[in-house]
């Protein structure tokens, strides 16, 4: 028999608890298992909350961020290319048209992303990959916040789209993110990046859209 107040083992004939002085030994529980559920429930809840916070705030996921941005850029590139083809069909047969088109898409995306962040607080890629941007000290982004951050990503992260420069800047950005837990543009702009758990179907959906995008690009080049 155990004391219902402190859990101390009691002799069968005891009228008082030797540890806490509890008199109502008649209500003492028969085993410690009866005391365990409350403590166990508290421990599980505490661990779950800690795990969630770590998942949201402390986990750094450079590749998730990269693919979310590439998804946004690819989607915007598809729309941009379609509009350009309607307005100026010969644009795609000009010398170095693909390289120039890539530079234009990356630059204009800075402003499209800023507009989406200021209106919706997210972009299609960030929504799909469950990435949340939080502006410190503010309820959300305004357009100038988005442009300021986007230009830094465009230069420091993407190297404005020039292949060799892009490779160097992405390696540097990846290294700083892994070491400092934050990119330089997020630190400069006071932005916190949170990650949610990405489910299997989101990954499949993203892969399907990427496949569709490259298929359309291939068809367009053949035509």
Domain extent for 69: 60-222
Closest CA to 110 of 67, 157, 64, 176: 157
Q: Is the pLDDT of residue 189 over 90?
A: yes
Is residue 14, in this structure, part of any structural domain at all? no
Whole-structure pTM value: 0.69
Is residue 40, in this structure, part of any structural domain at all? no
Q: Give 119's contacts (C-beta < 8 A, 6+ positions apart).
A: none
Residue listed under structure tokens 């630190």: 187
Is residue 92, in this structure, part of any structural domain at all? yes
Is residue 22, in this structure, part of any structural domain at all? no
Is residue 36, in this structure, part of any structural domain at all? no
Over residues 186-208, mean pLDDT = 89
Residue 207: per-residue pLDDT: 85
Q: How sure is the predictor about 27, in pLDDT bands with cuts at 50, 70 and 90?
A: very low
Asked if 2 contacts 9 with a C-beta cutoff of 8 angstroms, the reply is yes
Is residue 31, in this structure, part of any structural domain at all? no
- What is the separation of C-alpha 56 from the centre of its chain, rounded to a whole number of angstroms? 8
Is residue 11, in this structure, part of any structural domain at all? no
Share of the chain above pLDDT 90, in %: 44
Virtual torsion, Cα 46, 199, 119, 112, nearest 10 deg: 130
| Tokens representing residue 4 in the block | 């219902």
Total domain count for the chain?
1
Q: How sure is the predictor about 24, in pLDDT bands with cuts at 50, 70 and 90?
A: low
Is residue 46, in this structure, part of any structural domain at all? no
């Amino acid at each position: 028999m155990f004391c219902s107040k402190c859990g101390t083992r009691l002799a069968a004939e005891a009228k008082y608890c030797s540890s806490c002085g509890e008199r109502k030994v008649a209500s003492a529980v028969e085993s410690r298992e009866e005391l365990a559920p409350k403590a166990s429930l508290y421990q599980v809840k505490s661990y779950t909350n800690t795990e969630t916070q770590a998942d949201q705030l402390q986990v750094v996921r450079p590749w998730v961020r990269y693919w979310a941005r590439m998804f946004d850029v690819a989607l915007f590139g598809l729309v941009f290319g379609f509009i350009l083809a309607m307005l100026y069909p010969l644009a795609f047969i000009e010398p170095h048209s693909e390289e120039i088109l890539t530079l234009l898409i990356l630059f204009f995306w800075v402003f499209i992303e800023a507009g989406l962040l200021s209106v919706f607080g997210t972009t299609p890629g960030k929504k799909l990959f469950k990435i949340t941007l939080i502006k410190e000290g503010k309820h959300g982004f305004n357009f100038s916040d988005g442009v300021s951050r986007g230009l830094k990503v465009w230069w420091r992260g993407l190297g404005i789209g020039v292949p060799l420069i892009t490779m160097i800047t992405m390696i540097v950005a990846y290294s700083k993110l892994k070491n400092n837990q934050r990119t330089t543009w997020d630190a400069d702009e006071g932005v916190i990046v949170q990650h949610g758990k990405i489910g299997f179907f989101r990954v499949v959906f993203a892969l399907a859209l990427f496949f569709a995008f490259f298929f359309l690009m291939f068809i367009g080049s053949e035509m």
